[in-house]
Chains A and B, each alone.
Chain A
């Protein structure tokens, strides 16, 4: 009887410890982000108060109002930055997906010499650190005059995303049985038709998740954007965050508001595809 009870106690204790650890871990993960969201509703004076004010007593939308009021108040053209980010990210993602689909299909369906060498070669281009790449890109772009343009940024992000989209899409096409496309070809489809009517619909979800990944990368990228964009004509939001800093002061409330604006699209997109995202990464990696 006694042994039974001590065993049960231990099991309960373990369960409690498990939940406690989980709670602490999740708090560490979520708190910094929530703190930003909270601060975006507070005036900077209160955030910076010393001694600290723990229970916010002045929540309002001032930071958001100032942000959308344009260059007059606060001085940061947030709407322009948002549009820049959107145009650059969406266009570059669309192109990267098309290029990635072609490349992924080639890796999944054809056998050729030097396949793995070419594959690793493509991956390696992604590993080049942004800073190291930004120096020569800066020189080249300045020469041919596409610095500080949407086109320059789109081109850069396409190149940055292509290796990764190829990797993911390759994994998804491998999951589609070869026989499916062959059957379609026997039934009189051309290879092109077989691709669009049979293989593409099956792998569509995976391709979408590769797209989200590419979008998030371009949406959040900073190292290259900070050097290749110079003015409001092409500055993206991550670079725009720095507009809230000046040499000695920092408009923390305003910055948090922009940060929230930046996170929301990322949040929505990630939640939409989180299941495919995991599947994509694992299939692409393990079975590829």
Chain B
């Protein structure tokens, strides 16, 4: 009897591979195919018409697409860097506290528990120009008597979205960097003190290199779900006003479901997938090299 035995590691990985193949890879192949067709939800037969790279050409020459693309990149760059800096600051602040650190740590994780949709609604209300918390506070304190159109003006709306995004995700960075700060060995820090380093020098040359891998972990984790910003934007502005805050994800969602142009939406979807994969692979690479520097690789 012929009996082929799978190696144990493959057997163990098989369930994961099957699930991911069925729910992620297969649909993605389908969407890759449909991106070469003029598929519309309302006309199922259009799935079998091959139009080559027409959708891609259309997307690449569409100024709306490029505007959304650029805006997504800008949002990700600003938000991720800001979250990293604020998270670092917050972690340093908390680590210096001598009493009640546990309570502070739990408070710090508060935003992580909020569903992104909820965050969207919350900030939609906080930044509401008429009854929002921010405008109410500014007016009651007498700082301004004008109604600031936080979500109506394009630039301010972008600011509000970044604020909401940073609010939810800074704690991811802060928690991980804090864990890194706890893990720093004490000897080099004491040696630096004896040698007369200023606190800035100690931070720059000892603390920072040590927590770098932790920053990259945080970046890797975040880059795995950057698209969660979709929920926030979708609720807060839905890409408006007049597409001023349209990101790739909201543009794709609108094209696919509202305009029912699935083929075209899938073609644009692929660009956003490549963007996400690029970010993920980049940070995993950085993580590996940072690990090796500390001699933790292997």
Contact = CB atoms under 8 A, between A and B. Distances in A.
Interface of A: 18, 21-22, 25-26, 28-30, 32-33, 35-36, 47-52, 54, 98-100, 102-103, 105-107, 110, 112, 118, 120, 122-137, 139-140, 155-156, 158-159, 162-164, 166, 216, 219-223, 227, 237-239, 241-242, 252, 255, 259, 262-263, 266-267, 270-271, 274, 277-279, 281-282, 285-287
B24 A133 contact: yes
Contact of A285 (B13, B117, B171, B213): B213
A26 B109 contact: no
B133 A223 contact: no
9 contacts: A54-B140, A107-B13, A132-B266, A135-B31, A135-B252, A135-B256, A136-B30, A222-B117, A238-B117
A36 B117 CA distance: 13
A222 B176 contact: no
A75 B151 CA distance: 29
Contacts of B136: 51-52
Contact of A127 (B89, B217, B223): B223
B90 to A, nearest CB: 6
B252 A132 contact: yes
Interface stretch (B48-56, B58-66, B92-100, B187-195): B92-100
Contacts of B167: 28-29, 32
Contact of B31 (A54, A136, A238): A136
A267 B118 contact: no
Interface stretch (B77-85, B152-160, B278-286): B278-286
Interface in B109-166: 109-118, 121-123, 125-126, 130-131, 133, 136, 139-140
A47 B132 CA distance: 9
Interface string B234-267: 1000000000000001101100110000100110
Contacts of A286: 213-214, 217, 291, 294, 296
B226 to A, nearest CB: 8
B93 A282 contact: no
B106 A271 contact: yes
B121 to A, nearest CB: 6
Contacts of B133: 35
B15 interface: yes
A209 to B, nearest CB: 13
B28 to A, nearest CB: 6
A112 B12 contact: no
A136 B28 CA distance: 7
A97 B61 CA distance: 44
Interface in B1-51: 7-10, 12-13, 15-16, 19-20, 22-28, 30-31, 34
Contact of B118 (A124, A162, A241): A241
A129 B19 contact: no
A242 B124 CA distance: 13
A33 B114 contact: yes
Nearest to B250: A131
B230 A219 contact: no
B249 A131 contact: yes
A140 B26 contact: yes
Q: Which 8 pairs, one residue from A and one from B, show the smallest C-beta to C-beta distance? A: A129-B227, A159-B23, A220-B115, A136-B27, A132-B269, A285-B217, A136-B31, A110-B9
Contacts of A106: 8-10, 12-13
A12 B270 CA distance: 56
B175 interface: yes
Contacts of B67: none
Given A123-B224, A131-B256, A223-B231, 18 more contacts: A30-B110, A110-B9, A128-B276, A128-B277, A130-B227, A135-B266, A159-B24, A162-B16, A216-B112, A220-B114, A222-B115, A223-B228, A262-B118, A270-B112, A270-B113, A278-B175, A282-B180, A286-B217
B206 interface: no
B104 interface: yes
B109 A274 contact: yes
Contacts of B225: 126-127
A26 to B, nearest CB: 6
B125 to A, nearest CB: 7
B116 A166 contact: no
B8 to A, nearest CB: 7
A267 B118 CA distance: 14
B118 A129 contact: no
B16 A102 contact: yes
A99 B287 CA distance: 25
B126 A32 contact: yes
Contact of B122 (A36, A126, A131, A238): A36
Given A26-B104, A123-B224, A137 B27 contact: yes
A131 B280 contact: no
B272 interface: yes
Contact of A259 (B20, B89, B118): B118
Given A22-B97, A159-B23, A131 B227 contact: yes
Contacts of A139: 27, 30, 34, 262
A26 B130 contact: no
Contacts of A103: 12-13, 15-16
